[in-house]
Amino acid sequence: DSITSGAIKSESQAENLAIGLLKQSGIFPPDLNQGKRTVALLKLVGGEIRQIDKNEEASLARVDFFRQDVDKLSVYTSNPKKGSPSILLTSNSDSKKQILSLEYSFWNYDFTSQHLAEYPLKSSDEAWMEIQSGGGAMVYFNLVGLDPNIPYTSTTILKIRVKKVILGYYDSKEQQPYLEPIYVFECEAFLEGDKKGELTIYLPAITNDWLTTPEPTTETTETSSQ
């Protein structure tokens, strides 16, 4: 009843509803107000969350909030497709029933000059060689054209092709003294049966002899040549 009592008609409606709920709860810091947001309009099918088809009305929405850029570099959570907070909501008129789930972790960092430090970084070529040797963490994978809300089954990755390499910062769910620079490899994966997938790998960007924190704890993957 709390889910089907109203429709979410637009992404802007979902975004404004999510902002209002977070502000009411006192968990909407300025860092989120200035960062980017993504909205997915959703529905329930047999008790499972799915994307809506064209011209369908949404009964649910997921709104993801991302930190504002730091030194023009994007900040990434453990899943590049999800922000923190990530809120799943309905348009129920009862505000107590509007939030179905909320994933939230947010640590404050001091970005003033006296708290900043410089560290030597790997080159992107060095980072790719390290990934080819088994380094890095695969933090996202999904088959091309598959609803991202449907969990994928295990599959064999034959080869990957790097589409983009991005220098960014890793924002851990656990408290850490600073945002860690990382390389983000956005890749196309080639699978058995002529299938393709979208794949993202994180690798610490600081040279290994300076690293004092572990890599993101996620599934690792073996790769073949570019």
Q: What's the token pair of residue 206? A: 């600081």
CA distance 33 to 36: 8
The pTM (predicted TM-score) of the whole model is 0.81
SS3 12: helix
For residue 18, give the amino acid letter. Answer: A
Cβ atoms of residues 3 and 94 within 8 Å = no
pLDDT digits (tens, 9 = 90+) for 11-67: 999 999 999 999 988 888 888 888 999 999 999 888 888 888 777 889 899 999 999
Beta-strand relationship, 157-170 and 75-76: parallel
Reported as type and span, the H/E element at residue 185 is strand 180-191
Q: How many CB atoms lie within 10 A of CB 59?
A: 20
Q: How many CB atoms lie within 10 A of CB 13?
A: 16
Q: What's the token pair of residue 52? A: 């809506």
CA distance 182 to 218: 15
pLDDT per residue as tens, the chain (226 positions): 445 456 888 899 999 999 999 998 888 888 888 899 999 999 988 888 888 877 788 989 999 999 999 889 999 999 999 999 999 998 787 877 888 999 988 888 776 655 566 789 999 999 999 999 999 999 999 988 777 777 766 778 899 999 999 999 999 888 888 889 999 999 999 998 888 999 999 999 999 887 655 555 544 444 444 4
For residue 205, give the amino acid letter. Answer: A
What residues does each domain of the chain span?
Answer: 11-106, 124-210
Cis link prior to 80 (omega < 30° from 0)? no
